Amino acid sequence: MNNSILKMTSQSTKTILMVRPADFEFNAQTAADNEFQNMLPGRNVRQEAMNEFENAVSLLRAEGVQVLVLEKDPSLPEMPDAVFPNNWFGTDDNGAIHIFPMKTPNRQRETEQISGVISLLENEGFSYSEILDWRKLLGENQVLEGTGSLILDRVHKRMFAAISDRTQEDACRKFADETSYQPVLFHTMSSRGFAYYHTNVVMSIGANVVVACLECIPDSVEREMVRIEIIKHHSLVEISIQQLEEGFCGNLLQVLGNKGETITVLSSTAFNSLSSEQKETLSKHGKLISIPIPVIEAVGGGSIRCMMAEIFCPRKTG
């Protein structure tokens, strides 16, 4: 495979794709290994999620972020977690669209939206060169859930990944081999003694700063290895296990406004869980935009970063 695949000149993009949560509800299939999911009896969670989604799109657009919204194709089956598109597809600035293998059947269905994604990108003036289907490239029964599993340092070509049922080690190493990314693999343990389901609840990478919970890496050798890899190119803001689990403080994303300014997007839960010192440090690396999505977080078990699929595809010319 071409080693330039996923080689990026910028860590962040001005354009993201979000999926309207038309089928949003508690997903029993993913709850088996996602400790963050909760049922909210007696609540109209679908309508509340729709309201949160609309508000999130409005807040991001108000900051100059280009937000593409993918609508549900009524011919497709129900997809309760479709609001989290970054897990099943990604893009790079060579124009490749990447499709990733999901663990559960009702999340595997989300890949059926690929034609809708391509149409939306083309209608908005983007071009793509190829589709890289990692479901086939990684081999049968492999699971690697996109930028939920892989935290990509796109500029320095490193991929951080916390091994779990949704981030399988063999799949990580094969992806790294095929893309010439340096794998930085480690294991995590939650306060309940389980591996975190996705790496992007543990850490995030911006242009110059990393937010990470090193406390959740039980092996001291692995913990120090991850720390060393982070500080090679980035400053480090450490969060606690409590901030990870109660605040989704690791689940944030740097994006760019229409003038190229850096914006750090995080949920209101995360913003309120950070200390004043942590906020001050992060503010030096970009404006903090706090978005309230409490129902999506509580029921879906993911936060605002999971709702944003980055679009790095080039614009059409001519």
Domain boundaries, the chain: 15-311
Instruction: Judge whether residue 93 has pLDDT over 60.
Output: yes
What is the average per-residue pLDDT within 209-234? 98
pLDDT in tens, 133-168: 999 999 999 999 999 999 999 999 999 999 999 999
Q: Is the pLDDT of residue 295 over 80?
A: yes
| pLDDT score for 4 | 41
Whether 74 has a pLDDT exceeding 70, the answer reads yes
Alpha carbons 217 and 271: distance in angstroms, whole number: 23
Query: Which tens digit of pLDDT belongs to each residue from 53-70?
Result: 999 999 999 999 999 999
- Tell me the residue type at 257: G
Q: What's the whole-number mean pLDDT along residues 259-278?
A: 97
Whole-number percent of the chain with pLDDT over 70: 97
- Whole-number mean pLDDT of the chain? 96
pLDDT value, residue 8:
59
Domain 15-311, CATH homologous superfamily name and number: L-arginine/glycine Amidinotransferase; Chain A (3.75.10.10)
Average pLDDT value for residue range 75-82:
96
Q: What is the residue whose two structure tokens read 């699929």?
A: 309
pLDDT above 80 for 318: no
The dihedral sign for the CA sequence 262, 267, 272, 275: negative
> Tokens 């911006």 appear where?
206
- d(CA 254, CA 30) in angstroms, rounded, equals 26
Identify the CA nearest to 97 among candidates 72, 120, 63. Answer: 120
Does residue 245 have a pLDDT over 90?
Answer: yes
CB atoms within 10 A of CB 283: 11
* Average pLDDT score over residue span 3-25: 83
Residue 183: beta bridge partners? 159
Question: Cβ(278)–Cβ(264) under 8 Å?
Answer: no
pLDDT band with cut points at 50, 70 and 90 for residue 3: very low
pLDDT of residue 6: 45
Q: What is the DSSP string of the chain?
A: --TTTT--S-S--SEEEEE--TT----TTGGGT-TT----TTS-HHHHHHHHHHHHHHHHHHTT-EEEEEPPPTTSPP-TTTT-GGGTEEE-TTSEEEE---SSHHHHGGGGGHHHHHHHHHHTTB---EEEEHHHHS-TT--B-HHHH-EEETTTTEEEEE-BTTB-HHHHHHHHHHHTPEEEEE----TTS---S-GGGTEEE-SSEEEE--TT---HHHHHHHHHHHHTTSEEEE--HHHHHHH-TT--EEEE-TTS-EEEEEEHHHHHHS-HHHHHHHHTTSEEEEE--HHHHHHHS--GGGG-EEE-PPBP--
Position 18 scores a pLDDT of: 98
Which residue, chain included where needed, has tokens 């999505």? 293
The three-point CA angle 258-294-186 to 5° equals: 80
